[in-house]
Chain A
Amino acid sequence: MDNNKYSEKNNIDTACTYPEPSDNYPNMVEEASAEYKASPNSGLYTLEDYYALPDERRVELIDGVFYDMATPAKIHQKILARLHLLFEECVEHSDGKCEVWIAPSDVRLDCDDYTMVQPDLFLICKETDIKEIRFEGAPDMVLEILSPSTRKKDMTLKLQKYSNAGVREYWIVDPKKRTVIVHYFEDEDYSPTIYGFDSTIPINISDGKCSIDFSRVLEKIKAYYE
C-alpha cells in the first residue's frame, strides 16, 4: 500500500505520513491496496459524509462507520480540564517541542477518507499549521477518558486504530475504576501498564522529562466517589 502516492495524486496534504504496515505487524504479507478503500462499492461512509452531517450531530468516523458521541458527563469534562492543565504545564517545562490539544479536534488518523476521530486529548510533537481545519495522521500521544458507552470501543477498536496508525503512546483513563492504562506502543516488549489515580505517571515519549501527577486530578473529583 502506498498511501503517500495516493495522497499526491489526489492533492491531499502530503504532510500526512502513515507508517509502513510492516512496522506494526512484521508478519503482514499483503496490505489491502488503497483502491479497496477508494472503491465506492464498499458501502462505507467517507469524510464527505462526515462533513455533511448537521452540526448538532457529534460523531467519529472509524473505517467508514459512524460512531455517535453522546455529550460527556461532568466527571469526564472535569478530568479532561484538569489533565489539560497538567499536560500543558509538563510540556512547557520540557523542551516545548510538543503541543497539547483537546477535543473537539478532528484527527484524520489514517490519512484516508474513512477515519476521522476526536480524541479527548493528544500531543503533537511536530509542526502543524494553526490555520488548518484538522490534524493529519497520527498524533504522538493520545489520551481518552472512558464513558460507559465508549469503554469497549476505546479499549479495543481505538487501541488497534491508534497502534496501527503510528501513535506512540496511548493512555486510557477509567474514572469508574480509578485507573489509567498506559499503552506505550514503541516499547519493543510493549505491554499495557496500569496505574491508580494516586500515581505519578511518566509520559514515555518525553524520555523522562515529564510526568503527570494524577493525585492532582483525584483531589478535584473526590466528591464523585463518596
Chain B
Amino acid sequence: MTIEEMREKKKELGLSCEMIANLSGLPLSTVQKVFSGTTKSPRKPTIDAISRTLLEQDSAYTAHTDADRKALHEKEKASVEPPCMYPVMDESPAMMMEAPAEYKASPDSGLNTLEDYYALPDERRAELIDGIFYDMGSPAIIHQYILGEVFVLFRECAEHSDGKCEVFISPCDVRLDSDDYTIVQPDLILMCRKTNIQDIRFEGAPDMVLEILSPSTRKKDMTLKLHKYSNAGVREYWIVDPKNQIVIVHYFEDEDYKPVIYGFDSEIPISISSGKCSIDFAKILERIRSYYGQ
C-alpha cells in the first residue's frame, strides 16, 4: 500500500492513529508521523505493519452487515477525529532532521550502528558504545608492553586450569550487548564458552575483561565501561592503571560486590577461576623496572 492508499483506507475504516497503533503494536508517534507525512520514507517493517493492520481491519469490517457499516459511517461523520498530527514541539530544523530509513538503521534515533562501524575506513580505530563512536588512539608503548606481559601470564593460567577458558587479546570486536549499538575492543578477554574460530567477532559478554588505562581513556574505562560490562553480564573486570601502578578488580558476581585495589607488587587471584589461577603482577613490575631502568 502506498501512504496515500493507507490514508484512504484509514479514513474509510474510521480508524484513528491511536487505534492503528494499538492494533499494529507500533508506537503512536510512529503512526502519526507516517500519516502526517512527517516521516518521508518510513521503514518497510513500519509500512508492512500498518498495511497489515488496515487489511485485517478491512476484512473484519467487511464481515459487518450493511446496516452496521452504515451505522459506522454515521458515527464517523458525527465524531470529530482530531487531525492525525505529530505533535511538533518546535519547528527547528534539527527536529525535522529525524532521519529516514535510508540514512540510519533506526530512523528515529540519530545513533550510529554496527553498519556505520563497519563502514569506517580501516585506519580509523574506534569503539561503538550505545551508538556513539569513541576514537581509539594508538596506545603508548608502556600500554602495549604491559598488555603483552599480562597476556603471557593469563595464557599460562588458562593452560593450567581445566582449559575451559581461552584468552584473547585486542584488537578483537566484541558485540557486547548483542545489539546494533555497541561494539567494543577490550584489551584482553577471557572466553569460557566455545567460540567458532571462523567468526569475525565475539557475541555477548566475555566472562572476563581487562583494560589498561591510557590518559585519554581513564574516565571512560572506569565509569562508562564499568557500567556497560557489569550490565552486559561480564563476570569480572580488571582495570590496570600504569600511572598509579594499581589494578582495580571488579568481581561483579560477588553478592557483596565492591572494587578491590591491588598494587603492582601483588599476586592477584582471578575470581572466576575459583582459586585455581592468579596473576603475579610483581613479575610484570620487575620486567617494567628492568627494561625502563626504574
With contacts A27-B220, A29-B133, A39-B98 taken as known, whether A176 is within 8 angstroms of B110 at the C-beta atoms is no
Q: Does chain B have a CB within 8 A of A159?
A: yes
Q: Of B156-164, B184-192, B241-249, which stretch is located at the interface? A: B241-249
Taking a contact as CB atoms under 8 Å apart, the answer to whether A163 and B134 are in contact is no
Annotate B137-176 by CB proximity to A: 1 below 8 A, 0 otherwise: 1000000000000000000000000000000000000000
How many residues of chain A are within 8 Å of chain B by beta carbon? Answer: 42
Residues on the A chain within 8 Å of B261, using CB: 191-192, 194
Q: Does chain A have a CB within 8 A of B281?
A: no
Closest chain A residue to B110 by CB distance?
Answer: A33
Taking a contact as CB atoms under 8 Å apart, the answer to whether B226 and A160 are in contact is yes
Closest chain A residue to B89 by CB distance?
Answer: A10
Of the candidates B30, B216, B227, B261, the one having the most CB atoms from chain A within 10 angstroms of its own CB is B227
Residues of A contacting B: mostly: mixed
Contact of B241 (CB < 8 Å), options: A41, A163, A191 = A191
- Bound-complex Cα distance A87 to B122 (A): 53
Taking a contact as CB atoms under 8 Å apart, the answer to whether A157 and B231 are in contact is yes
Taking a contact as CB atoms under 8 Å apart, the answer to whether A151 and B110 are in contact is no
Contact of B108 (CB < 8 Å), options: A42, A151, A179 = A42
- Bound-complex Cα distance A30 to B135 (A): 10
Taking a contact as CB atoms under 8 Å apart, the answer to whether B94 and A10 are in contact is no
Taking a contact as CB atoms under 8 Å apart, the answer to whether A39 and B89 are in contact is no
Q: Does chain B have a CB within 8 A of A220?
A: no
Closest chain B residue to A31 by CB distance?
Answer: B132
User: A residues engaging B (CB < 8 A)?
Assistant: 9-10, 24-36, 38-43, 151-152, 155-157, 159-160, 163-164, 174, 176-177, 179, 181, 185, 188-192, 194
- Bound-complex Cα distance A42 to B124 (A): 30
User: B residues engaging A (CB < 8 A)?
Assistant: 27-30, 89-90, 92, 94-95, 97-98, 108-112, 126, 130-137, 215-220, 222-224, 226-227, 230-231, 241, 243-244, 246, 248, 252, 256-259, 261
With contacts A9-B90, A156-B230 taken as known, whether A191 is within 8 angstroms of B136 at the C-beta atoms is no
With contacts A32-B132, A194-B261 taken as known, whether A27 is within 8 angstroms of B217 at the C-beta atoms is yes
Ranked 10 nearest A-B pairs via Cβ: A160-B227, A33-B110, A29-B133, A163-B223, A156-B230, A40-B29, A39-B108, A156-B227, A160-B223, A27-B135
With contacts A39-B98, A159-B223 taken as known, whether A27 is within 8 angstroms of B29 at the C-beta atoms is no
Taking a contact as CB atoms under 8 Å apart, the answer to whether B94 and A156 are in contact is no
Contact of A190 (CB < 8 Å), options: B27, B95, B219, B257 = B219
Taking a contact as CB atoms under 8 Å apart, the answer to whether A43 and B27 are in contact is yes
Closest chain A residue to B137 by CB distance?
Answer: A27
Residues on the A chain within 8 Å of B110, using CB: 32-33, 35-36
Closest chain A residue to B181 by CB distance?
Answer: A32
Taking a contact as CB atoms under 8 Å apart, the answer to whether A152 and B230 are in contact is yes
Closest chain B residue to A6 by CB distance?
Answer: B94
User: What is the distance, in angstroms, from B24's C-beta to the closest C-beta of chain A?
Assistant: 13
Contact of B134 (CB < 8 Å), options: A25, A41, A194 = A25
Taking a contact as CB atoms under 8 Å apart, the answer to whether B258 and A164 are in contact is no
Taking a contact as CB atoms under 8 Å apart, the answer to whether B94 and A35 are in contact is yes
* Interface pairs (15), CB distance under 8 Å: A9-B89, A27-B135, A27-B136, A27-B216, A28-B134, A30-B132, A32-B109, A33-B110, A151-B258, A152-B257, A156-B227, A156-B230, A159-B223, A191-B244, A191-B261
Closest chain B residue to A24 by CB distance?
Answer: B219
Taking a contact as CB atoms under 8 Å apart, the answer to whether B252 and A177 are in contact is no
Of the candidates A9, A155, A191, the one having the most CB atoms from chain B within 10 angstroms of its own CB is A191
Residues on the A chain within 8 Å of B28, using CB: 40
Closest chain B residue to A191 by CB distance?
Answer: B244
Taking a contact as CB atoms under 8 Å apart, the answer to whether B224 and A35 are in contact is no
